[in-house]
Structure 1
């Protein structure tokens, strides 16, 4: 009996549903009749965009054949998709064209306000989701009540983060402003932010991470993030000319808050950087993708995730943890917190003060009363 195997794959940085089988003209011709199913020379199989909807289409299309369809590798994806589908049951599937055009205009308006690309993408995304919700409910978009209902159904019930809820409120307020509604007309209460301490990697853990990395480009990128205390957006926006090896400084241009600043250029990092530059020869940006342009945030996250796994570090560290670790280790070495504030580009010393709560040196000075019992 002919057998078709369905599993997931990556095609041009997108998740796809791969349709694999031993070469067979009958199956091939049958699949070619199905809309949106394409052939990949790279994957050597047919594929379609990965979604539960497309999986159902494939199943429905193949059910009248006598072929065996093996989807055992998709069980985890199916379960997660069903949960997400249940969450999104209060949203319409497609945004009507008139609202798509409105979102495009909103996006241009946000860019004209000189907001960062990440902020614009977030605001447009949350607004699109909100529009899907309001249209399904068939209510006025510009109503505080429907905003509150959305917060409950889409954010509170699925236990999405307070940070996401605040992003949503900010995005919606901007959309309302774009449509001519003043801020004081929108009475939406913001939840208080959770006060979480940053995840800090010890110096030994940092060493372990770098010892596991064999790819020179990956090592250079993570070394830069830690040695200069950069945000990932700042690192991937760096141009070659921003590295000042004579003054041993890095020029960070128009970072968060539209501010320029200088931070440290490590002499040990310069050695890694020179090796990297000779090997990869970047043209404009210090770190570039395979096809040119800026290196992607997603690729950088994967580099750290793989390094943490190989170093057997179980902490839920992110790229930002390298920045946190840089600041904490400086503080532990006795660096004045005002200098750390400047290096990190914090507007307020209150933001930098959080590192005083996680330094080993300050905590070790406290004598534990339990030790006096024995």
Structure 2
């Protein structure tokens, strides 16, 4: 074995322990196909990159690679993977924006179509293994569905303007933020075609509106909202105490209009009949759990998609609400470091992904040059 292969084999051995058990099994499978240590390391890098993107986007509650549950991969939608592809295509634009705040940093190279294809191909290999090749002790596949099988990379390169259009279609801008919150509370009733759906919405609209308004007024992750206890709310200061990614204590702010919806829900929280020891802010009930218990992340994701589809922006998801806040923040407060603190990002590069090229901003820039 060459020195390079020995080095890669050692690095592979040192790295694999940081990944979930099913990734280890995937790598073991690839070893039987005589894949080189270098190729296997490439798989791990691409998988780690994707898992960290999922964490940043609030698509999982995992904070470490090793803790990424299979269930989160099973729930991924095609539009989520398409958003990831778009992120890869745009990453160099975010980096260029970051240079404005730190001109001394080195510019990041744009990912080539070949590199993007490789990153997606690595995920395709993993998902194919989990959904079609691997099986548990009952002979069942690890994944019930392979969302990557639906993804085809378009060889046509997108222009920055086309990318801006794609982003614009998936987030709320300006008054749309307030219109969407109002729609959840008032407008969605018109879409309830049965009395059962109508009563369900009336029962939960204060809770749903409060959660959505908080995310849109503070840029919180859905996991952060779901994890809130009553003692975490500092209403007089418009702050929420929380443990953020990296196990860091923080107390980010939310706006006055978000506070209004939160206060309305808290006044009605007891209608969920929580137990005396239940401290969760946002509650849910079910036929098997009639007493209010902490709502689950997946439930919030589903209800946001339900409202978004009825509102006419079907690509809007709960993590796009966070994007909407961040984009609006930078439009009104062009200081990425303030936004970085509010969102709890450890790196400014992550924050700069929200410096999108929006149509009206581009139009103003053109007008200033003529």
TM-score by length of 1: 0.49
Larger relative contact order (CA 8 Å, sep ≥ 6) = 2
Q: More helix per residue: 1 or 2?
A: 2
TM-score by length of 2: 0.49
Larger radius of gyration between Structure 1 and Structure 2: 1
